[in-house]
């Protein structure tokens, strides 16, 4: 009986695999090609994209989309690549158009030029020393997910650059999904909008995103980390600015005249509670923080900028209340210094919108499970391009890419990471078609 069961299971597995024809290029080969193209973005530029070289990858991806039969392919003046994969259903209008977005740029933190990807074939456990700088070591201690990658082919940089898995993994996975769908017309799906964006790492590219003409009703960013991580929550973010107005004069004749704003600013900072849960360095998980991150001080005027972060709007409000109490304390101590408090909304937790569209997350969970991946919902202690799009009316959670250690020389992904992430995307468009009939 048992062997009969096993036989049936084996037959079923074989038949499923036999049905899927491979794409014209594997996700691994595509990824290795893309990481060779330097697309590092730069901070504090007035243009989008912040670096011209991002067009190199944008133009290549546009060409590949056209070669794969994608319609309406265009590269905007801001370096955003758009395209539409037509659905293959009898009536595509019954299924909402689903969008997929990956970003082309890599972090300004570490060079992305001359990336030499190293494939550590059939990984057998243990720490991975990067060959061109032996001080760069990917340790099992700091990367427990390595234990799940025994027997996999792990891809790293050589120790002198980042790898660019963030987010060329996403680019390769989206492109390979399209390629696989083209080779397998038996996989049914609705219209699929695709886009590759510049300047995600420096925040700016997404503001130029043309939601209207792109045509997606819902979207996913493919920009997450380890296999299974799905994020439908980000911070709700505000930035507070506290300004201290003093009075400057020549220090030689300042007696009784000068009011040095810096003392009040220093007092304000010293009144921040040291104990958890208030600071980034003492918090994790779902706990928010207040974080002074920049200041400018002179006798006349001092300003301090403070990040206020929480997953709940009530938590954001409570943290602002705390800041105002600290301001009041400093006012009482330095009555001659005028103190202004001001705060601005950065972005909203996407959950505030996504809670009304639970199917986006539910279908992604199902798609991961069908790819043999254990899904895990992980709130992002930051914002994503999806936070911006969601706030602008395009609900957009974030999906995993298989990558690890973003923005550093220890970045890595694996063959399984790339393949299972691609399988998840293919499953996801099928699930949307199945469930929307």
Residues with active-site annotation: 105, 200
- For residue 225, state whether it binds Zn ion (rule: CB under 5 A): no
Q: Give the H or E element holding residue 341.
A: strand 338-347
Nearer to Zn ion, 64 or 167 (CB): 167
Paired sense of beta strands 81-85 and 154-156, if any: unpaired
Please spell the DSSP secondary structure of 44-87, one letter per residue.
S-SSSSSSTTHHHHHHHHHHHHHHTT-EEEEE-TTS-EEEEE--
Query: Count residues contacting Zn ion (CB under 5 A)?
Result: 3
Footprint of Zn ion on 183-212 (CB under 5 A): none
How many Å apart are CA 374 and CA 371, to the nearest integer?
Answer: 9
Taking the complex as a whole, how short is the minimal distance between the CB of residue 102 and Zn ion, in angstroms?
Answer: 8
How many Å apart are CA 231 and CA 247, to the nearest integer?
Answer: 49
- Dihedral, CA of residue 223, residue 229, residue 232 and residue 233, to nearest 10: -90
For 5, 138, 229, 412, the CA distances from 155, given in Å and listed in that order, are: 37, 11, 19, 6
- For residue 179, state whether it binds Zn ion (rule: CB under 5 A): no
DSSP state of 408: S
Task: From 98, 73, 101, select the one nearest 196 (Cα to Cα).
Answer: 101
Taking the complex as a whole, how short is the minimal distance between the CB of residue 165 and Zn ion, in angstroms?
Answer: 9
Taking the complex as a whole, how short is the minimal distance between the CB of residue 276 and Zn ion, in angstroms?
Answer: 29
Task: Count CA atoms closer than 13 A to 288's CA, side-chain side.
Answer: 22
Nearer to Zn ion, 166 or 173 (CB): 166
Q: Are 155 and 164 in contact (CB under 8 A)?
A: no
> Tokens for 306?
């403070």
Nearer to Zn ion, 30 or 168 (CB): 168
- For residue 64, state whether it binds Zn ion (rule: CB under 5 A): no
- For residue 229, state whether it binds Zn ion (rule: CB under 5 A): no
How many Å apart are CA 243 and CA 251, to the nearest integer?
Answer: 22
The single residue among 38, 105, 152, 167 that binds Zn ion, judged by CB under 5 A, is: 167
Q: Which stretch binds Zn ion (CB under 5 A): 28-36, 138-146, 220-228, 251-259?
A: 220-228
Nearer to Zn ion, 167 or 199 (CB): 167
Nearer to Zn ion, 102 or 337 (CB): 102
How many Å apart are CA 31 and CA 20, to the nearest integer?
Answer: 21
- For residue 423, state whether it binds Zn ion (rule: CB under 5 A): no
Nearer to Zn ion, 115 or 308 (CB): 115
The single residue among 105, 152, 179, 223 that binds Zn ion, judged by CB under 5 A, is: 223
- For residue 310, state whether it binds Zn ion (rule: CB under 5 A): no
Taking the complex as a whole, how short is the minimal distance between the CB of residue 200 and Zn ion, in angstroms?
Answer: 6
The region, left, alpha or beta by phi > 0 then psi within -120 to 50, assigned to residue 208 is alpha
Q: Which stretch binds Zn ion (CB under 5 A): 36-44, 149-157, 222-230, 258-266?
A: 222-230
The single residue among 166, 199, 366, 411 that binds Zn ion, judged by CB under 5 A, is: 166
Taking the complex as a whole, how short is the minimal distance between the CB of residue 37 and Zn ion, in angstroms?
Answer: 16
Task: From 360, 28, 56, 73, select the one nearest 194 (Cα to Cα).
Answer: 73
Q: Are 422 and 180 in contact (CB under 8 A)?
A: yes
Taking the complex as a whole, how short is the minimal distance between the CB of residue 350 and Zn ion, in angstroms?
Answer: 16
- For residue 38, state whether it binds Zn ion (rule: CB under 5 A): no
Taking the complex as a whole, how short is the minimal distance between the CB of residue 223 and Zn ion, in angstroms?
Answer: 4
Nearer to Zn ion, 166 or 411 (CB): 166
Interface residues with Zn ion (CB under 5 A) are 166-167, 223
């Amino acid at each position: 009986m048992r062997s009969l069961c096993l036989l049936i299971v084996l037959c079923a597995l074989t038949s499923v695999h036999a049905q899927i024809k491979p794409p014209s290029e594997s996700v691994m080969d595509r990824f290795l090609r893309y990481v060779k193209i330097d697309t590092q973005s730069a901070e504090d530029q007035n243009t989008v994209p912040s670096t011209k070289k991002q067009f190199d990858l944008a133009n290549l991806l546009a060409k590949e989309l056209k070669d794969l039969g994608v319609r309406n392919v265009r590269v905007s003046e801001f370096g955003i690549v758009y395209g539409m994969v037509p659905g293959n259903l009898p009536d595509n209008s019954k299924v909402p158009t689903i969008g997929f977005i990956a970003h082309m740029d890599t972090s300004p933190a570490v060079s992305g030029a001359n990336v030499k990807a190293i494939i550590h074939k059939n990984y057998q456990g243990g720490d991975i020393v990067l060959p061109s700088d032996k001080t760069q070591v990917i340790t099992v201690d700091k990367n427990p997910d390595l234990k799940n990658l025994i027997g996999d082919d792990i891809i790293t940089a050589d120790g002198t650059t980042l790898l660019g898995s963030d987010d060329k993994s996403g680019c390769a996975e989206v492109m390979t999904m399209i390629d696989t769908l083209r080779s397998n017309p038996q996989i049914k799906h609705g219209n699929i909008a695709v886009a590759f964006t510049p300047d995600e790492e420096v925040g700016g590219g997404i503001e130029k995103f043309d939601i209207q003409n792109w045509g997606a009703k819902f979207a996913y960013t493919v920009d997450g980390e380890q296999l299974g991580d799905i994020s439908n929550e980000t911070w709700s973010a505000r930035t507070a600015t506290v300004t201290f107005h003093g009075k400057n004069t020549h220090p030689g004749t300042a007696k009784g005249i000068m009011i040095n704003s810096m003392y009040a600013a220093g007092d304000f900072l010293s009144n921040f509670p040291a104990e958890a849960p208030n600071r980034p360095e003492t918090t994790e998980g779902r706990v928010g923080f207040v974080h002074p991150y920049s200041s400018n001080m002179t006798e006349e005027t001092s300003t301090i900028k403070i990040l206020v972060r929480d997953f709940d709007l009530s938590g954001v409000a409570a943290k602002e209340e705390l800041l105002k109490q600290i301001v009041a304390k400093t006012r009482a101590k330095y009555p001659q210094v005028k103190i202004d408090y001001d705060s601005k909304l950065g972005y909203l937790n996407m959950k505030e919108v996504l809670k009304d569209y639970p199917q986006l997350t539910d279908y992604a969970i199902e798609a991961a499970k069908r790819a043999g991946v254990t899904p895990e919902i992980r709130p992002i202690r930051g914002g994503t391009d999806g936070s911006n799009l969601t706030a602008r009316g395009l609900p957009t959670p974030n999906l995993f890419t298989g990558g690890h250690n973003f923005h550093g020389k220890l970045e890595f992904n694996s063959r399984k990471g790339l393949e299972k992430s691609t399988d998840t995307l293919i499953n996801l468009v099928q699930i949307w078609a199945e469930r929307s009939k």
